[in-house]
Amino acid sequence: MTLSDFWFLLIAVLWVGYFVLEGFDFGVGILLPVLGKDDARRTVLIHTIGPVWDGNEVWLLVAGGATFAAFPEWYAALFSGFYLPLLLILLALIARGVAFEYRGKSESARWRRNWDIAIVVGSLVPALLWGVAFGNIVRGVKLSADHQYVGSFVDLLNPYALLGGLTTLTLFTLHGAVFLALKTTGDIRAQARRVAGSIGLVTVPVAAGFLLWTQIAHGHLSTGISALVAALCLVGALVANRAGREGWAFLATAVTIVAGTATLFLALFPNVLPSTVDSAYSLTVTNASSTHYTLTIMSWVAVAFTPIVLCYQAWTYWVFRKRIGVEHVPVRSGR
């Protein structure tokens, strides 16, 4: 394995971590109007992810930074071709982060309701657009001989990419519902399980269609294996949820996301951004990477600091592992 191959693998791992952890964050935000029928219930939902949501976003920052440092050509082509979708994702994440911080700054019901809307939109937009973006990355885009994007925004809205967006949207929402069933008590817990079952009925055919399309158009043996694992775990999550085994259901949706993301990166390799104009114009792990010296320094830094970050985040989840319910949040008067 070359260093460029190693960094492609590491970037894939970073995206896996981001989608698994931020995925349930997005799901909780999307389900806010569904499971949060009053302010107390919405507060409970937000508190389930309150201690961890900002730490989960670190995975995105590291993935972006690693791509910039290890594959500058890939980074440049992505931001030139996907400028508008990535800008929308960035604005949504900013609005969502501000909403988490400012929602509790006033007792006004209208104030909290407006920030709740920002949380819902700020969760739904990235959950949809990340799937669209990765669908286009795997499918390929119009790259010229000098690796410049020569397509339009409409080209990114192709059926395969849109199906990818629906897959991430429904899968993250299911992941969030299962997480809420695992983290809450009482009526919210029971309703979250029912909602997870309903969402699963939509997620299974959508995700199966996307995985099958990926396998037919871009797959090989390894992608077929990972896609099969994703499909089996998704069905297993619904079975476990129906049986009331929230922990197993959450583990199954997490493995579904891991295997599904692995399928996309396996289908992509050794390209990092295929060209639909001419395969010779595609960006690969070889022609898009930084120098050997740069990758060597980055590797030593990753080896030194990655265990520290993982231990800290694991400790955070352990500290805030208990379930919460309406009885654990203060009563607000509202006005």
Q: Tokens 């104009």 belong to which residue? A: 277
Residue 333 has pLDDT above 80, yes or no: no
Q: Tokens for 160? A: 């395969």
Token pair of 102 as six digits: 């400012």
Q: Which two tokens mark 54?
A: 């900002």
Average pLDDT over residues 228-247: 95
State the pLDDT at residue 201: 95
Alpha-carbon span 54 to 61, nearest angstrom: 11
Q: Which two tokens stand for residue 208?
A: 């199966």
Average pLDDT (5-9) is: 95
What per-residue confidence (pLDDT) applies to 332?
62
Question: Looking at residues 253-260, what average pLDDT do you find?
Answer: 97
Instruction: Count CB atoms within 10 A of the CB of residue 98.
Output: 14
Q: Where are the domains of the chain?
A: 3-328
φ, ψ at 149 (rounded to 5°): -75, 125
Distance CA 243, CA 131 (A): 30
Mean pLDDT across the chain: 92
Residue 276 near residue 34 (C-beta atoms within 8 A): no
Q: What pTM does this model have? A: 0.94
Q: Residue 331 has what DSSP assignment?
A: -
Phi-psi region at 184: left, alpha or beta (left = phi > 0; alpha = psi -120 to 50): beta
Q: Identity (one letter) of the amino acid at 128?
A: L
What average pLDDT does this structure show over 50-68?
Answer: 91
Instruction: Provide the pairing of β-strand 283-284 with 271-273.
Output: antiparallel
